[in-house]
Chain A
Amino acid sequence: MELENLRTIWRVTMERPAAGKQSSEDIRALLGRRSQGLVAKMKRNLFGELILVLGIYIPAILFYLFEFGGKLSEMGGALLLLIAFFAVYYYRKNKLLNEMQCLSCRVRSNLERQVNTLRKYIRFYTIAGTILVPVMAVLSFLITARNLSLSSSGYPPYSLGSNALTGTYGWKGLGIAAMALISVTLVSYYTNTWYMNKLYGRHIRKLRGLLQEMNEE
């Protein structure tokens, strides 16, 4: 049977009383459902992540700002800085997700948009996740160093040796710390890259394949 024959049968079939048993009520009932598409799921996950971060960081910030007579307020300040970083991070991710698809556009345009925006999203996530590690490490280091230098004045409550960052071991200690930081950052980068490929690699390859097929002459 040729495709032309099917076209004839198709046309005849569609002149019959409308196929599809959904009534207007059935259709109306579907309008309130959540989308199960990839972009909608990513947006929901992002929102869940945001709630989780706020739920953890806000109590921690308040704790450090107001407990111990404000002596640990720098820690609260550092966490506030991190919240600001997360705010930019979530804003950017949300913006990319909003731009990721245009279902009312032509199919090829929509595919191009999905491929390009998903690549940007993956790149952003990888870089942001990688930068976060040294940023947190450096912040922790500075706060710890400051508290150690104050500990001789009777400030609580660290028990680390006061020679750790000063004196004859200073440069060597910093060198070791820098190497450790670079190693951890590299591990973080490759871990993020692997994770992104696991989450989205298959999807992006599929989209690229479809786009390539559409562009073939």
Chain B
Amino acid sequence: MQEASSQPAFVALVHEHRALLHKICNLYCTSVHDRQDLFQEIIVQLWRSYPRFRGEAKFSTWLYRIALNTAISDLRRQRRRVKATDPAHLPAELQDIQYAKEQEEQLQQLYAAIGQLTEVEKALVMLYLEDKSYEEMEEILGINQNNLRVKMNRIKEKLRKLTKATTHGIGKS
């Protein structure tokens, strides 16, 4: 049973990092319902793991591990995955920003391409966008740094091809 005394500290920490959790949910889920489900599941798992957190790793590293492990292992949601080509797929935080039309199209294409990546590739993209060093990525994912560099290059190339394919498709219509 969780101690009531640790709850306020936990809630405060999670509240402080909630933006990060939302970014993960946005990356792994396309529907609002799935994002809410995943967010809830991550919070539950964080709370259950909190008593065992002794500070050996940074809190953010611990949080990333739990959130990504939860997102990657969620088979139910993966079955319902929808192709992310709908402009509404852009996360709410990015929809609010005013972009030039061309830039917005490119952003949508990139997000649609990211939606087609595998769960592992999304985790790498997530950490890359968060400016994590390869050392920190290794701490979270358990993949050695050389491998991470190779995988990251492949992901960038894959995204280039996916976005180029989408551009050509738009051009032809």
Q: Of B73, B93, B119, B147, which is within 8 A of A16 by CB?
A: B93
Segment with Cβ contacts to B, from A70-78, A99-107, A186-194: A99-107
Pick the most buried of A23, A37, A38, A210: most chain B CB atoms within 10 A of its CB: A37
Majority-rule SS of A interface residues: helix
Q: Is the CB of A18 within 8 A of B12?
A: no
Chain B residues closer than 8 Å to A19, beta-carbon distance: 18-19, 22-23, 91-93
Contact A30 B44, CB 8 Å, known A2-B160, A13-B97: yes
Chain B residues closer than 8 Å to A27, beta-carbon distance: 11, 14-15, 18, 43
Residues of A within 8 A of B (CB-CB), count? 48
Q: Of B19, B72, B94, B151, which is within 8 A of A9 by CB?
A: B94
Closest to A1 in B: B106
**Cα separation A114 to B69 with both chains bound (whole Å):** 11
Q: Is the CB of B44 within 8 A of A106?
A: no
Within 8 A of B (CB), among A195-217: 202-203, 206-207, 210, 213-214, 216-217
- With an 8 A cutoff between CB atoms, is A10 at the interface? yes
Closest to A11 in B: B131
**Cα separation A149 to B31 with both chains bound (whole Å):** 69
Contact A107 B142, CB 8 Å, known A10-B129, A22-B18, A27-B14: yes
- With an 8 A cutoff between CB atoms, is A172 at the interface? no
- With an 8 A cutoff between CB atoms, is A98 at the interface? no
- With an 8 A cutoff between CB atoms, is A34 at the interface? yes
Majority-rule SS of B interface residues: helix
Within 8 A of A (CB), among B138-155: 139-143, 147, 150-151, 155
User: Which residue numbers of B lie inside 8 Å of A, CB to CB?
Assistant: 2, 7, 10-12, 14-15, 18-19, 21-23, 37, 39-41, 43-45, 47-49, 52-53, 62, 65-66, 68-70, 72-76, 78, 91-94, 97, 103, 106-107, 109-110, 118-120, 123, 125, 128-131, 139-143, 147, 150-151, 155-156, 159-160, 163
**Cα separation A49 to B118 with both chains bound (whole Å):** 36
Pick the most buried of B62, B120, B125: most chain A CB atoms within 10 A of its CB: B120
Q: Is the CB of B37 within 8 A of A108?
A: no
- With an 8 A cutoff between CB atoms, is A7 at the interface? yes
